[in-house]
Amino acid sequence: MRLFSCDNCGNTIHFDNGTCVACSRRLGYVPSRWRMTSLEPSGEGWNSLALGESFAFCTNAEIGACNWLLPIDQAGHLCPACRHNRTIPALTDDKTIDAFRRVLSAERHLFYSLLAWRLPVPNRVEDPEAGLAFDFLADEIGPDGGVTPVMTGHTDGVITLAIAEADDAAREERRVHLGEPYRTLLGHFRHEIGHYYWDRLVRDGGRLDAFRAVFGDERQDYAEALQRNYREGPPADWQNRFVSTYAACHPWEDFAETFAHYIHMVDALETAHALGLAISPRVAVPEQLDLEVDFAPYRQKDFGALANAWPPLTVAVNEINRSLGQRDFYPFVLSAEILSKLEFVHELIAQGRSSGT
């Protein structure tokens, strides 16, 4: 993620900010310009101080759930991220509204990446068959008080997300129970969108043979593969082959986990780039631990540049976490096989962008 500065006072501002903490100006993100801007009220809308244009906020801004801007002639509409939301929970209490805000914040972060890569993001109105839609659902509570949990997942372009995942305590309990290093709202979005792009870019994109050569044959029984994983756990050598234990269940899950991991990598490297972060250890270590992200990660064509920059950053942040008594920020080891899967995703995204399919 990039850093931004306030058009009015120059203070550093962040992607999620709604107001500048230094000068109190209202802020919004202009997705078509890839930037935040500072605003002043103007009639029905808002004037950008730097862009000289009028904007309207996404309608989800009314409940403080979105800070994206649209051209003023689209006032009353949803932004390029929120317009994919097909079902949202009843926003009748503060807890649900707070959960909805967290979900949309993660969704915008996802769309930041998809739009940066210019990946196709049609909604169901633009493409009723293959468009992308989100159903954000609350768990059902029966008359006897029993809870039927919503399952997060992807089916034919529709991504279902349990808004219970926005509750930190509940999500953390599931994370520990399932033995996952990462379980975050943004991680769910990045995983499920991997399934969506598998359909679009691998299956519909005529790349099944290339996919199978790297990830294996996805025609094996999916339900049986999941059951085997729950029953027996991952294979003993999973760390050499898969980015997570869940990735070991089935090639579809391997792809989705790898897709999510690739977005994690590129976005974190962009943050390092934005901060001008440089790492040069003061003890004798292999040269590979030097870091300077002197390229724009979202536009980097050479996968090797991303793969080489990544280990120094993860080692450095792990060391800082240990100093603070926290668990490792990055408890993963990327083997050659995992890197080849990440490279497949890298190439797929590059092709998805150029062909526009």
Enumerate binding residues for Zn ion (CB under 5 A). Answer: 6, 8-9, 11, 20, 22-23, 25, 58, 60, 66, 68, 79, 82, 253, 256
User: Would strands 54-57 and 45-48 be described as parallel, antiparallel, or unpaired?
Assistant: antiparallel
Shortest Cβ 297–Zn ion spacing (Å): 25
Shortest Cβ 132–Zn ion spacing (Å): 15
**Whose Cβ is closer to Zn ion: residue 107's or residue 269's?**
107
**Secondary structure of residue 154 in the 3-state scheme:** strand
For residue 335, give every residue at least 6 positions away whose Cβ sits within 8 Å of its Cβ, in sequence order, or none. Answer: 239, 240, 241
CA–CA gap between residue 330 and residue 1 (Å, rounded): 18
According to DSSP H, which parts of 33-126 are helical? 94-116
Shortest Cβ 39–Zn ion spacing (Å): 11
Shortest Cβ 313–Zn ion spacing (Å): 26
**Whose Cβ is closer to Zn ion: residue 27's or residue 309's?**
27
Residues written for the chain: 357
Shortest Cβ 164–Zn ion spacing (Å): 17
CA–CA gap between residue 333 and residue 335 (Å, rounded): 6
Shortest Cβ 71–Zn ion spacing (Å): 14
**Whose Cβ is closer to Zn ion: residue 256's or residue 348's?**
256
Q: Please state the φ and ψ torsions of residue 30, each to the nearest 5 degrees.
A: -105, 100
**Whose Cβ is closer to Zn ion: residue 252's or residue 310's?**
252
Shortest Cβ 209–Zn ion spacing (Å): 22
CA–CA gap between residue 41 and residue 36 (Å, rounded): 16
Shortest Cβ 174–Zn ion spacing (Å): 15
**Whose Cβ is closer to Zn ion: residue 106's or residue 313's?**
106
CA–CA gap between residue 286 and residue 312 (Å, rounded): 10
For residue 44, which of 52, 36, 54, 58 has the smallest C-alpha distance?
54
CA 326-330-335 angle, to 5 degrees, is 150
**Whose Cβ is closer to Zn ion: residue 259's or residue 310's?**
259
**Tokens at residue 173, please?**
């309990």
**Whose Cβ is closer to Zn ion: residue 6's or residue 342's?**
6
Give the CA-trace dihedral at 187, 357, 123, 110, to 10 degrees: 20
Are residues 12 and 25 in contact, defined by beta-carbon separation less than 8 angstroms? no
**Tokens at residue 192, please?**
């499920």
**Whose Cβ is closer to Zn ion: residue 135's or residue 292's?**
135
**Whose Cβ is closer to Zn ion: residue 11's or residue 335's?**
11
Q: Give buried/exposed letters for 183-212 (b at 16+ CB in 10 A, else e).
A: bbbbbbbbbbbbbbbbbbbbeebebeeebe
**Secondary structure of residue 355 in the 3-state scheme:** helix
CA-to-CA separations, 122 to 80, 197, 204, 247, 260, in angstroms, rounded: 10, 12, 15, 27, 20
Shortest Cβ 51–Zn ion spacing (Å): 16
**Whose Cβ is closer to Zn ion: residue 151's or residue 324's?**
151
